[in-house]
């Protein structure tokens, strides 16, 4: 799993798999553009905004996102959007892996069932939420501040961190995440996404939440 160096200047961590590793579900060209151009753009813009504000060079992405109200007013919106863009994309890319053929869902089912959620319910609720996002955004599985599993959606580059929730899995439903392969068919993209979810990592995220 790749974690960005978690303070200024932020870096774009390499994908934890090759660009073509998620074929045929997520295509190579989409992964290249998504990682090398779009995520890189958020990293560059975030660094450019913070360059004149050394006071915040030691802040992690999470701290920037959770405390954006403490930043100078003139950079709050930009930091919220760019830091969110970095966090959301790294989280999304890490959350995928080449098909886990030998993966056994017993442990994950156990963890989920403690929160009254099964894997099938998780998938169908996440899909429903992802389809419901109007315009650009994400659907998420999170643990809320009371420790309850929740499915939620965020617009643009908003994050669950600002909502005090612990993110466990996200799906990017901006059109750039699927348009080259799936065109306007977001539902097919979501079904394909479920073939490449890194469920081992979701388990670990739940255990650490």
| Binding footprint of Mn ion on the chain (CB under 5 A) | 172, 174
Nearest residue to Mn ion, scored by beta-carbon proximity: 172
- Minimum separation from the CB atom of position 154 to Mn ion (A): 12
- Complex with Mn ion: residue 56 or 174, whichever CB lies closer: 174
- Complex with Mn ion: residue 56 or 91, whichever CB lies closer: 91
Asked if 173 contacts 133 with a C-beta cutoff of 8 angstroms, the reply is yes
- Complex with Mn ion: residue 21 or 119, whichever CB lies closer: 21
- Complex with Mn ion: residue 61 or 111, whichever CB lies closer: 61
- Minimum separation from the CB atom of position 165 to Mn ion (A): 20
- Minimum separation from the CB atom of position 43 to Mn ion (A): 13
- Complex with Mn ion: residue 172 or 203, whichever CB lies closer: 172
DSSP for the chain, please give it.
-----SSSSP--PPPSS-TTTTTTTS-HHHHHIIIIIIIHHHHHHHHHHHTT-GGGTT--HHHHHHTGGGS-HHHHHHHHHHHHHHHHHHHHHHTB-S--TT---HHHHHHHHTTT--HHHHHHHHHHHHHH--SSEEEEEEE-TTS-EEEEEEETT--GGGGT-EEEEEEE-SGGGTHHHHTT-HHHHHHHHTTSB-HHHHHHHHHH-
- Minimum separation from the CB atom of position 69 to Mn ion (A): 25
- Minimum separation from the CB atom of position 85 to Mn ion (A): 8
């Amino acid at each position: 799993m790749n974690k960005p160096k978690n303070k200024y200047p932020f870096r774009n961590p390499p994908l934890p798999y090759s660009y073509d590793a998620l074929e045929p579900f997520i295509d190579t060209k989409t992964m290249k553009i998504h990682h090398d151009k779009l995520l890189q753009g958020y990293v560059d813009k975030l660094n450019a905004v913070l360059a004149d504000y050394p006071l915040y060079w030691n802040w992690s992405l999470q701290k920037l996102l959770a405390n954006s109200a403490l930043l100078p007013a003139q950079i709050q919106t930009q930091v919220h959007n760019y830091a969110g863009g970095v966090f959301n994309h790294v989280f999304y890319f890490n959350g995928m892996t080449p098909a886990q053929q030998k993966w056994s869902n017993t442990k994950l089912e156990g963890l989920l069932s403690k929160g009254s959620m099964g894997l099938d319910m998780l998938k169908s609720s996440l899909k429903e939420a992802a389809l419901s996002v109007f315009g650009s955004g994400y659907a998420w599985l999170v643990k809320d501040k009371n420790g309850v599993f929740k499915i939620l959606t965020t617009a643009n580059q908003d994050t669950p961190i600002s909502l005090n929730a612990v993110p466990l899995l996200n799906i990017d439903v901006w059109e750039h995440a699927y348009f080259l392969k799936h065109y306007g068919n977001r539902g097919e993209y979501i079904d394909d996404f479920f073939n490449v979810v890194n469920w081992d990592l979701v388990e670990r995220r739940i255990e650490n939440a």
